[in-house]
Structure 1
Amino acid sequence: MSTSIDTPETAESPQLQLDVQVNTTQACVREVVVTIPSAEVQRYLKEAYDELVPEAQVPGFRSGRAPRRLVEKQFKDRVVEQVKGKLLMDSLTQVTDSESFSAISEPDFDYNSIPEPGDGDFTYQFTIEVRPDFDTPEWKGLELKKPTENIDEEAITEALDRVLRDRANWEATEEPAAAGDRVVVNIVFTEGGKTVSKLEEELVTVADKLSFTDGLCSEFGKDVIGKKEGDKVTTKVELSNTEDDEEKRELSAEVTLVEVQKLESVELTSELLDELGDFESEEELRGFIKESLERQSEYRIQQHIRREVSNLLSDAVNFELPEDLVRRQTYREIQRRILELQRSGFDQTQIRGIANALQQNARASTESALREHFVLEQIAEEEKIDATPEDFEAEIMLISQQNGVNPRKTRSRLEKSGQMDALRNQIVERKVIDMIVENAKVTEEDMSGEMDDSNGQSYPVEFSILGTRNDAAIPEAKYEDNSVPEANSDKDKE
């Protein structure tokens, strides 16, 4: 499919006259050919020389007094390069701001391979990822099941015990390891008799499973429980699928127990209450924990409903997602989920466990999240739903409270790491889900104890067995001067 984009002029800001051909190669990819007529090229060159001549310094002439022909000859290379960048930047801005498509990434092309502007037309081409075109599915009147959870005193006590365990004293022992104990381990990962990687002196809690960013040891607890300091056990680790693996890979892990630690009793003193957050009493601390558990429950309910809504809506849309898009968005999707978990009251161990699970199934979870995002974002645009400054402040406050950090520092960190767009998407998508639920036929179902996805039976370790970096999916800047990506930097919001 090929379309042409008209780019009208305005009195306030004259625009380039362009011929733009857009070819649809995939649902989320456009190949774009841009042709700038010779007259426009000459206009840009003339404007550049008009600006340069009055200030040009040419040997043998006073500043600004050199003949124009001499100035044009001496500064030609510099001016042509400058005009090339300006033509690209201005034309890209017009193309990507048009209503023909909604760009979700920077244009992909080799700046240096584009010929310099001369006497004729100036033509270049690029590919760009865009939001797919599809008819908005009918979202009113969906039949949904909304789970409910009861946060009782027993749940609060269990959560308090987990908090106290993190502050308790742990003593080394010669006794065998039991479930819930801590062990310091060295692990050597091998495949076919060859060492793949090593993890040294890692402190972990003995749980049924041990999860890594790219693998899962499903029988860790069974193989380690009953072993003492100095013992060695061999267990298996299943690596998560990668694009190059048709089948799951299984590695061998030799675990050496360097130390076994048992929990000593911990008393909830006034000093510990102060350390935990300046609480005046156990009752106040339990109230805070209850609020955190309620936010966690709200998050799980939201995720359950979101999956239900997405499954119903996805049946009505069908588009392919490019491999590069899925690969690049993986890191951003994980960061988005981490932001949601932080504002929802989950502790760092729970967050790390969910993040590990996401990375182990990165492609499937990212592809699902992208489909959801495109559908929800289109509904948001049609219903004019967006994030307000007050929404941002509320989210930042929740994240700050959970992490015990000043809100200004949280905002600064989010801005510097480029996560404000992820925060905006999170807010908008939640609003859309709420609107869909309000217009749905909802039946409630008690699912207390059945919805916890924080991997309580698995202890997460922030370690990649294959040595892959978590940020490998983030593309590096292709153009040192940033002149080309700058024109579309505000589009990369997906």
Structure 2
Amino acid sequence: MAETDETRDDEETTDVAVQDGPAAEDGEDQPLDLKVDIEKPSACERHVSVTVSRADIDRYLDDAYSTLMPTAAVPGFRAGRAPRKLVEQRFKSEVVDQVKGSLLMDSLTQISEEGSFAAISEPDLNLDAVELPEDGPLTFEFDIEVRPDFDMPKWKGLKIKRPKHDFTDEDIDKNLQQMLARYGQLAPHDGAADDGDYITANITSKADGKVVAEDEELVLRLRDTLSFSDAKLEGFAKLMKGAKAGDKKSTKVTVGAGAANEELRGKDVEVEFEVLEVKKLKLPELTEDFLQELGRFESEEALRDAVKQNLERQLEYAQQQKARGQITELLTESANWELPPGLLKRQSARELERAIMELRRSGFSESEIRARENSLRQNSAESTATALKEHFILERIAEEESIDVEDGDFEKEIFLMSMQSGESPRRVRAQLEKRGLMDVLRNQIVERKVMEAVQAEAKFTDEPYEPTKDDTEAVPLAIAGGGGDIPEAVEKAEEEAKADADQ
């Protein structure tokens, strides 16, 4: 329904109510006589010019005044007894504004229902610039982002390579050590840092001698790669090996193309590490009490079984990602339509959230997720464009195959994410709802189902699986500055780093 305005005269108040649209004689809403011209600046953009006939304007105005007459209060007349012309004069401004709003709303609704395009954003329409004319038709225009029109690629019978692996005791031992590291205790070490050790350090980055970013007392593990949110430092462990408390180490790092600070994209900045402390990690013993605390495991063998199941979930993720990458490449090879920069910018954050949720349901640790998150940030523009094109294609397949979310799908996804985070499913759901990510989760579920449908029709060739090496340390710091960090991600990462340091 249209909004209601109030007009006050002395102590009398009259509600001016305008219906959504005048009804035809048979009780159904009468469609508007619209002239709609659509221009296509790009595959995903439409510029729409709309003309509403004078007959429709007069019809809406007549209906609005007819609705108002029984309750209209005009000085000198009892409510509902004033002549029509006086009512029209007194309430013209309010009625015209409301009729304009109703005409615009009904026009947009009718255009949408007629299916001239599938909108993926709200219309960019300046309501204040639209005026209801005294004579002649009403005209207005707006820009809107839409799902592109394209010829559907053939998706049945694709040839796909699939990684396969049978996990050995050695695989389980290695992953168990990585998991126990999260529960280990960091003990101060007077000597030099070695591979796998931890350091507490202040980080400062400079461009042309000017400080552009800095952070204090970050706890970092010496690994081959140090991943910032906007760059990667290869050879980090080699750089810091042998460092002691009080030492300073410097190197140059190239800022990534997706950095928030556009001026420094592709340029080198100097990064200095001031070592405050060196620490050794002491892993916990697998005592009966610790096994219970870890997950109510009855024995070390039960723990190892859980580790193997987690590895198998990660293998499943690798299989899905491998297949998805090949499917995306095959399906989007002819999708050469351009995407609006504004759409890419808005969608990049949601694509990042989707990727993180997928990693959480697949059992990756927070440190592994942060490393992959930073990598996604550094290639956000390219990865978002690919993901959007893939989404449009998968969405079409979902519509054609009647694939949608079913009862229990959300609960299953949320349960898997809660297992990774250690939080209750109720709390995980509350966080998703608070951040407005339930629609992202829905898209993720639908897209996965579509991928399963595509794979069910595909022809697979098995290949050896190479587990991802855990050789990247990630920090939520943009070395080029520019405020590129998501506050929630930074806060959570800092809390986890502090918790690791306190254990």
1:61-210 to structure 2, matched below 5 A, reads 63-116=79-132, 118-210=134-226
Moved more, 41-50 or 143-152: 41-50
1:433-448 to structure 2, matched below 5 A, reads 433-448=451-466
Task: Tell me the amino acid that sits aligned with residue 430 of structure 1.
Answer: R
Cα drift, residue 144 of structure 1:
1.5
Kindly, what percent of the aligned residue pairs are identical?
A: 46
Moved more, 134-143 or 268-277: 268-277
Partner of 2:274: 256
Partner of 2:482: 467
Deviations 1:334-356 (CA, angstroms, capped at 9, x unpaired): 01111111111111111111111
Deviations 1:469-492 (CA, angstroms, capped at 9, x unpaired): 4469xxxxxxxxxxxxxxxxxxxx
Partner of 1:492: none
Cα drift, residue 246 of structure 1:
9.8
Partner of 1:327: 345
Query: Are residue 231 (structure 1) and residue 247 (structure 2) matched?
Result: yes
Per the alignment, do residues 304 and 66 of structure 1 end up closer, same or farther by CA in structure 2, a change over 3 Å counting? same
- Mapped partners of 2:223, 2:433: distance in 1: 37
SS in 2 for 1:133: coil
Q: Gaps (5+ residues) in structure 2? A: 1-23, 488-503
Cα drift, residue 117 of structure 1:
5.2
- Mapped partners of 1:417, 1:334: distance in 2: 14
Partner of 2:436: 418
Cα drift, residue 284 of structure 1:
2.6
SS in 2 for 1:107: coil
Per the alignment, do residues 347 and 51 of structure 1 end up closer, same or farther by CA in structure 2, a change over 3 Å counting? farther
Cα drift, residue 289 of structure 1:
2.3
| TM value normalised by structure 1 | 0.87
Cα drift, residue 129 of structure 1:
1.2
Per the alignment, do residues 61 and 379 of structure 1 end up closer, same or farther by CA in structure 2, a change over 3 Å counting? same
Query: Are residue 338 (structure 1) and residue 356 (structure 2) matched?
Result: yes
Query: Are residue 36 (structure 1) and residue 49 (structure 2) matched?
Result: no
Deviations 1:314-361 (CA, angstroms, capped at 9, x unpaired): 234332222222122111110111111111111111111111100001
- Mapped partners of 1:29, 1:370: distance in 2: 14
Task: Tell me the amino acid that sits aligned with residue 126 of structure 2.
Answer: D
Cα drift, residue 63 of structure 1:
4.8
Deviations 1:118-147 (CA, angstroms, capped at 9, x unpaired): 443221111111111111111222222111
Per the alignment, do residues 319 and 286 of structure 1 end up closer, same or farther by CA in structure 2, a change over 3 Å counting? same
Partners of 1:220 and 1:235 within 8 A in 2 = no
- Mapped partners of 2:478, 2:62: distance in 1: 56
Cα drift, residue 191 of structure 1:
0.3
Per the alignment, do residues 170 and 247 of structure 1 end up closer, same or farther by CA in structure 2, a change over 3 Å counting? closer
Partner of 1:383: 401
| TM value normalised by structure 2 | 0.85
Per the alignment, do residues 234 and 81 of structure 1 end up closer, same or farther by CA in structure 2, a change over 3 Å counting? same
Higher Cα Rg, which structure: 2
Partner of 1:275: 293
SS in 2 for 1:389: coil
Q: Gaps (5+ residues) in structure 1? A: 1-8, 473-494
- Mapped partners of 2:268, 2:55: distance in 1: 64
Per the alignment, do residues 247 and 288 of structure 1 end up closer, same or farther by CA in structure 2, a change over 3 Å counting? same
Partners of 1:218 and 1:236 within 8 A in 2 = no
SS in 1 for 2:136: coil
Cα drift, residue 154 of structure 1:
2.1
Partner of 1:373: 391
- Mapped partners of 1:137, 1:30: distance in 2: 24
Task: Tell me the amino acid that sits aligned with residue 232 of structure 2.
Answer: L
Query: Are residue 317 (structure 1) and residue 335 (structure 2) matched?
Result: yes
Deviations 1:149-184 (CA, angstroms, capped at 9, x unpaired): 233222222222222212121111221111211111
Partners of 1:331 and 1:470 within 8 A in 2 = no
Task: Please provide the CA RMSD for this pair.
Answer: 2.5
- Mapped partners of 2:83, 2:175: distance in 1: 81
Partners of 2:45 and 2:144 within 8 A in 1 = yes
SS in 2 for 1:167: coil
Deviations 1:243-297 (CA, angstroms, capped at 9, x unpaired): 9569611100111011111112421233333332333333333222222221111
Partners of 1:241 and 1:249 within 8 A in 2 = no
Task: Tell me the amino acid that sits aligned with residue 50 of structure 1.
Answer: S
Partners of 1:182 and 1:260 within 8 A in 2 = yes
Cα drift, residue 225 of structure 1:
1.2
Query: Are residue 354 (structure 1) and residue 372 (structure 2) matched?
Result: yes
Moved more, 409-418 or 226-235: 409-418
Per the alignment, do residues 117 and 265 of structure 1 end up closer, same or farther by CA in structure 2, a change over 3 Å counting? same
Per the alignment, do residues 471 and 25 of structure 1 end up closer, same or farther by CA in structure 2, a change over 3 Å counting? farther
Moved more, 118-127 or 297-306: 118-127
Cα drift, residue 208 of structure 1:
1.5
SS in 1 for 2:408: helix
Partners of 1:41 and 1:117 within 8 A in 2 = no
Deviations 1:431-464 (CA, angstroms, capped at 9, x unpaired): 2222222222211112233xx2xx6221111122
Moved more, 286-295 or 268-277: 268-277
- Mapped partners of 2:113, 2:432: distance in 1: 26
Which of 312, 316, 321 is 1:298 aligned to? 316
Partner of 1:221: 237
SS in 1 for 2:122: coil
Moved more, 354-363 or 43-52: 43-52
